[in-house]
Structure 1
Amino acid sequence: MVNVSTPEPIDRPPMTQATLRMAWAQRLRSADLAAVHLISRSARPRIGRYSAIAISKLGNSWLYLIILPVIFAALGREGFRVVFLGALNAALLHLMFPIIKRKIGRPRPYQVDPRLQSLLAVLDEHSFPSGHTMTLSGVLTPIVLVWPGAILSAVALLILMAWSRIATAHHYPSDIFGGAILGIVLAYPLSILVLAIW
């Protein structure tokens, strides 16, 4: 009778909290990059490329000049408070986001993966958070607070801006979510406070 011995289990070191966090962070980074590859495909056809570039460029400042007359047409004199708050939110966010970007120092998707192509020049070298999305969410917050009927248009604008920033390979989805959350977290309480006293 042959004595078959069972193999002894291999001793693996237990996963530490730090190792587990690093493994999850790597998975999230991989998923983020895969999402950029998927979304950037929509900018390969000419219409997709031109749309992504145009929307991104509108987000540099032109979009706000388009929103301005819409606010006054819809809200009349009430629009002055909304415009003031939108400008205040944008100014405060523009003071914050370069500091956050330098502190985090995340490279843009096209810098990480050479298969991705940047469709237009960048305003700075860091990816997180998306300044376009952060500014837009900060400007749209007081508009929606005063004019709730604009919520669908506001969401559509944010989605279009988010798509364009990922499609141009300038941002990851997490940059977009981070920018939107930061914009709303600053703009909402400030807008509520100013609207309550003005």
Structure 2
Amino acid sequence: MPGTSKASRFFELADQREYAFCQCINQIVRFRPVMRYFQLVSRLGDGWFWYALILVIPFLEPKTGAGLALLMALTGLTCTLTYKLLKRWLIRERPFISFPSINCGTPPLDRYSFPSGHTLHAACFQAILFMTMPKLALATAPFTLSVAASRVVLGLHYPSDVVAGALIGGLMGYLSALYFFSASLALFPGLF
């Protein structure tokens, strides 16, 4: 049975506590250029930015890029399964659904809010990049932060959804990168 009464009670309390902050942040969508920026970031965060990056990495890093791209793709699939299972089990409504005064800046990809899948993926890929290609990670960090911010600005997530997504995704990315290094060292001892 999806969801639990304990989780429901917890999220009802959390929703009330985060509502004022969400409403305040959401007011920024009144400014059309800001709204357009976050809508674009959200759209690219649907996966398009990461798909393009995964395709480019083998060219940026000829020795390990193909393996890294494959690792990112497989870890991304694991992230998708993880957040979908959590959303189905925990069932937290999105802020714009629970509070009509919060504007929905762009249609969501799925029904529930916790955790933020966009942030989970962005943090995961960012962690992998910080451990494997730090210069590229610094270049992509502003995009990752914008993706996380877009979730609250567009009325799609509570801040706690974003924080949870970042923590889960960051941990998944870190563990994947550790696996990548250990597997690479076992297969190619002189590579690093």
Shorter-chain TM range is 0.7 to 0.9
Deviation at 1:25, TM superposition (A): 7.5
Deviation at 1:195, TM superposition (A): 1.9
Task: Please say if 1:133 is aligned against 2:124.
Answer: no
Aligned to 2:187: none
1:165 to 136, 141, 151: 151
Runs of at least 5 residues in structure 2 that lack an aligned partner in the other structure: 1-9, 185-192
Number of residue-to-residue matches in the alignment: 177
Contact 1:107/1:126 (CA < 8 Å) preserved in 2?
yes
Contact 2:108/2:156 (CA < 8 Å) preserved in 1?
yes
Task: Please say if 1:88 is aligned against 2:53.
Answer: no
Deviation at 1:73, TM superposition (A): 4.6
CA distance in 2, matches of 1:57, 1:152: 21
Task: Please say if 1:153 is aligned against 2:139.
Answer: yes
Amino acid at match of 2:128: P
Where does structure 1 differ by over 4 angstroms across 4 or more consecutive aligned residues?
24-28
Aligned to 2:19: 33
With normalisation by structure 1, the TM-score equals: 0.80
Deviation at 1:66, TM superposition (A): 3.4
**What is the SS of the residue equivalent to 2:155?**
coil
Amino acid at match of 2:125: V
Deviation at 1:184, TM superposition (A): 1.6
Deviation at 1:192, TM superposition (A): 0.4
Deviation at 1:69, TM superposition (A): 5.4
CA RMSD of aligned residues (A): 2.3
Contact 2:129/2:136 (CA < 8 Å) preserved in 1?
yes
- Counting only pairs closer than 5 Å after superposition, residues 36-47 of structure 1 correspond to structure 2 as 36-47=22-33
Aligned to 1:176: 162
Per-residue deviation, residues 38-88 of structure 1 (Å, max 9, x unmatched)? 221222111111111111111112112332355345323321122111111
Deviation at 1:113, TM superposition (A): 0.8
Runs of at least 5 residues in structure 1 that lack an aligned partner in the other structure: 1-23
2:47 to 39, 56, 61: 61
With normalisation by structure 2, the TM-score equals: 0.82
Per-residue deviation, residues 112-170 of structure 1 (Å, max 9, x unmatched)? 11111112221111000000111122222222111122343343222100111111100
Deviation at 1:27, TM superposition (A): 6.7
**What is the SS of the residue equivalent to 1:127?**
coil
CA distance in 1, matches of 2:53, 2:24: 30
Contact 1:39/1:163 (CA < 8 Å) preserved in 2?
no
Aligned to 2:6: none
Contact 2:39/2:150 (CA < 8 Å) preserved in 1?
yes
1:78 to 48, 60, 64: 64
Percent identity over the alignment is 25
CA distance in 2, matches of 1:28, 1:85: 35
